[in-house]
Amino acid sequence: MTGRDGHQRRGCLRLSAADLTTWTVSLNSVRARSAEWGGPGRNVTKVESHGMGCISPERGMDPVAGDAGDAGRRLGAVIAALDGPGFAPCLSDWFGACIGIDNLTVLVWAGNAPPRCLHRSAREESVHASVDEIYCAGGYLLDPFFVLDRSEAPAGVYRLCDVAPDQFRSSEYYTSYYRDTKIVDEMVYVLRPAFGVSIHVCLGRDVTSDTPFSDAAYETAMGLLPVVVALAARHWGHITVDAVVSESGQGAGSGMADITARFSDRLKTLCGVVLTRRQSETALLILRGHSSGSAARMLGVSPQTVKVFRKQLYARCAISSQAELFAMMMPILARLS
C-alpha cells in the first residue's frame, strides 16, 4: 500500500485484543471517576479552535473525560485518517477527549539532525511562537525530553516532573525560552516507530486551562500507550534515518557523548575557548538546570568537584553567571543543529 507521500506503507493497522482491552479499561476507569465527580462532562468545556477539537479543562480544574463512546468515535476518526494529512489533528482530538489537553506538538528525531515538527496545534499563540527560531535552532539540546530520548529510554509516556532536572525552573533555558511558551505541564509519548527514528507526541497544558496533569490523567495516558504505539508504527513507520538526516544536512551520530564532543569542537572553532570533556559536560548540565549535586550524580563525581569544573568553565569563558553562559552558548548550540 502506498501513502499520499509516495512511501511504501505497511498493511492495515492491527490492534490486538489486549490492546483494545487496555484502552477500554482506561476509558471505563475515566468514566467511573467522572461519575464520582458528579457525572460525565463535569468541569469540561468543548473547544473547537485553531483546528484543534480538544476537550479542555476549565481554568484551574483538572478535566474528567466524557463517555467512552465519544472517545471511541474519535479513535475511529484517527484510524480512518491514517496515511493522510488529517491524522495528527484527529489524534489531538482523541487525546482531548480521553485526557484533556491544551496543545499538541509532534516531533521527529534521527541522528544528529535537529527535530522536525510534524504537527503543532494550540489555542495559546505563545506555545509555538519560538519553536522554530529557538527550540529547533538548538534549544532542543537542553530539553529534558531530548536528553531522555538520547539516553535510550524505552518507548513510553513520560511526565515533565519526572524527567526535568532539579533546578529546571530556575535554569536559563526555562527563563529564556520555556516560560515564554506559557506551557504549565507536559506529558510526552516517546515512540520508536522505525529503526533509529524517534517520534515525540507532546501533550501540553498551558495557561488556557492553567492546570497541570493529574496522576489520574497520567494513568489514562499510560493505559492508551499500546494503542498510540500501534498508531505511530502504522502512520510514521516509513520514516527513515537517512531521510531525516539528509533533509537537515547533519551527520548520523546521535549519542550524548557525540553531542558533547561537537559542542566542545564548535566552541573552540568559533570562540577560541578550549574546554576539557568534563568542563563541556558541566556546561551542558548547568544549562539544562542541574544543581551541583544533580550534576555530580550524572558525572559520577562529588559536588565539590562539579563546583571546581564550574569555576574553571567560567574562567575559561571569561564569564561570571549562568545568564552569561547561556548567552554565549546558545549560538554554539544553534551551530550544532
Asked whether the predicted pLDDT for residue 256 surpasses 80, the reply is: no
* pLDDT at residue 288, rounded to an integer: 95
**Residue 110, phi-psi category: left (phi > 0), alpha (psi -120 to 50), beta (remainder):** beta
Rounded to an integer, what is the distance from CA 95 to the centroid of its chain?
15
* pLDDT at residue 258, rounded to an integer: 80
30-87 pLDDT, tens digit per residue, is 444 333 333 333 333 333 333 344 445 556 556 545 567 789 999 999 999 999 999 9
| CB distance 88 to 200 below 8 Å | no
The whole-chain average pLDDT of the chain stands at 83
Asked whether the predicted pLDDT for residue 121 surpasses 90, the reply is: yes
- Classify residue 52 by its DSSP letter: B
Determine the Cα–Cα distance for residues 281 and 324; give it in Å rounded to an integer.
17
* pLDDT at residue 223, rounded to an integer: 97
Q: What is the mean pLDDT of residues 219-245?
A: 94
Half-sphere exposure of 110 (CA within 13 A, CB side): 21
β partners of residue 156: 190
Q: Range with the lowest mean pLDDT among 163-177, 234-248, 288-302?
A: 234-248
* pLDDT at residue 31, rounded to an integer: 40
Q: Range with the lowest mean pLDDT among 12-16, 131-135, 162-166?
A: 12-16
> How many C-beta atoms lie closer than 10 Å to residue 165's C-beta?
23
Domains and CATH numbers, the chain: 253-335 (1.10.10.10)
* pLDDT at residue 313, rounded to an integer: 96
Listed in order, strand segments (DSSP E) in the chain are 44-46, 55-57, 103-110, 116-122, 156-159, 183-194, 197-206
Give how far Cα 156 sits from Cα of 54, 119, 204, 321, Å.
22, 20, 16, 36
* pLDDT at residue 311, rounded to an integer: 96
Strands 55-57 and 183-194: unpaired
8-45 pLDDT, tens digit per residue, is 444 445 554 444 444 444 444 444 433 333 333 333 33
* pLDDT at residue 298, rounded to an integer: 92
Q: What is the three-class DSSP state of 205?
A: strand
| CB distance 119 to 105 below 8 Å | yes
Strands 197-206 and 103-110: antiparallel
Rounded to an integer, what is the distance from CA 29 to the centroid of its chain?
26
The model scores a pTM over 0.85: no
Top pLDDT among 62 and 308 is at: 308
* pLDDT at residue 61, rounded to an integer: 59
| CB distance 194 to 104 below 8 Å | no
Give how far Cα 337 sits from Cα of 132, 250, 280, Å.
11, 7, 17
* pLDDT at residue 58, rounded to an integer: 55
